Amino acid sequence: MRHFVLFLAVIFFGLFLAVLNRSDSQSGSGVPTLRVFGYASFTGKWGAGPLLKNEFEKSCNCKVEFIEGSDSGILLQRLKIEGESLGADLLIGLDQFDLAKATSEQSWRKLSLGELNVYESVKPALVNSYFVPYDWGTLTFVARKNESAKLPESLDDLLESEWTRKIALEDPRTSSPGMQFLNWVVRSKGEQEGFEFIKKMMSQVHSFAPTWSAAYGLFTNKQAKLVYSYSTSPLYHKFEEKNDDYISLKFKEPLAVQFEFMGIPEFCRNCDLAEKFVNLMLSPQGQKIIMEKNYMFPVMKGVAENTEFAALMEEVQPMDQVEIPSSAEVDRLLKKWTELRRGDIN
């Protein structure tokens, strides 16, 4: 036993010294570090984050460091649990369902951005002075061309037997697109009929993945035939993989709209740098990077023109009114969904 304890003590002491030595050699560079907290597909090497970081570091005399969260739905949960110890100066990737919760759980700095030349459809998202949208998109089901004879054209078509266990959906409790789907159904059909529809959908769903990327992985691995994703997802396959086999479906119901917001927590350490980064993201250069790497529509006018994004923006039929629901309303819908889900599992 003495040998074992001594052995563990030596290992941990050695590791402690190694870590201490490493942090000593890494510190002391002298330049301030802007810490940006965002979801994985934004901060990852294939996302918009690294390009924005390079652009920003050219002029700021600072370093940009990303803190990665796996999905936008998890960001707020992490921010609540870790608070100031997370060390984030800027939070990127909240959607409209998170805003009320974010405002009630954290203190945020007011953003003074002046008049923004945004699209008409984006204006309803500018109501909050603590958060500003940096991109937006509509959500729908994405399928592979030629895999099915008849693709769904309305929500009710999803209940057909061909799609049984073939639809990849996201869990609305942890994923923002999952919450968007729930809201889309409820708003399209009304609450009572909507939840009846969701109850029937439980048998159609392959699984409720905790994140968008997990659900999309099921689809690309051909375990699912349909996935609830962004209307712009096929453009990603077209441009990045030169694969034109994917299609975003048109539904007779107007599509759900997602805005992605950024905000500066009150406890930020490099708040001025965070504001400058926000300005970069709203500049034509930043918006272009976001559009091309994040595969979402830009919020500012004059960026998407003469691109396939502009054509798609014209084509999609978003919901007329974008409402920013209260935190209690979101919780109520989620509670109802959870009860349904529990009933389905049991």
Count CB atoms within 10 A of the CB of residue 200. 12
Backbone angles phi, psi at 24, to 5 degrees: -65, -45
CA–CA separation, 185 and 345 (whole Å)? 21
CA dihedral 16, 20, 22, 27 (to 10 degrees): 160
Cβ at position 262, least distance to another protein in Å: 19
- The nearer residue to another protein, 69 or 93, going by C-beta atoms, is 69
Contacts of 187 (CB under 8 A, 6+ apart): 194, 256, 319
- The nearer residue to another protein, 11 or 127, going by C-beta atoms, is 11
- The nearer residue to another protein, 33 or 148, going by C-beta atoms, is 33
Cβ at position 325, least distance to another protein in Å: 21
Which residues lie near another protein (CB under 8 A)?
A: 1, 3-4, 7-8, 11-12, 14-16, 18-19, 67-71, 74, 77-78, 81-82, 85-86, 173-174, 210-211
- The nearer residue to another protein, 19 or 311, going by C-beta atoms, is 19
Contact 240, 247 (CB under 8 A): no
- The nearer residue to another protein, 64 or 282, going by C-beta atoms, is 64
Cβ at position 312, least distance to another protein in Å: 31
Cβ at position 71, least distance to another protein in Å: 7
CA–CA separation, 243 and 185 (whole Å)? 30
Cβ at position 18, least distance to another protein in Å: 7
Contact 75, 94 (CB under 8 A): yes
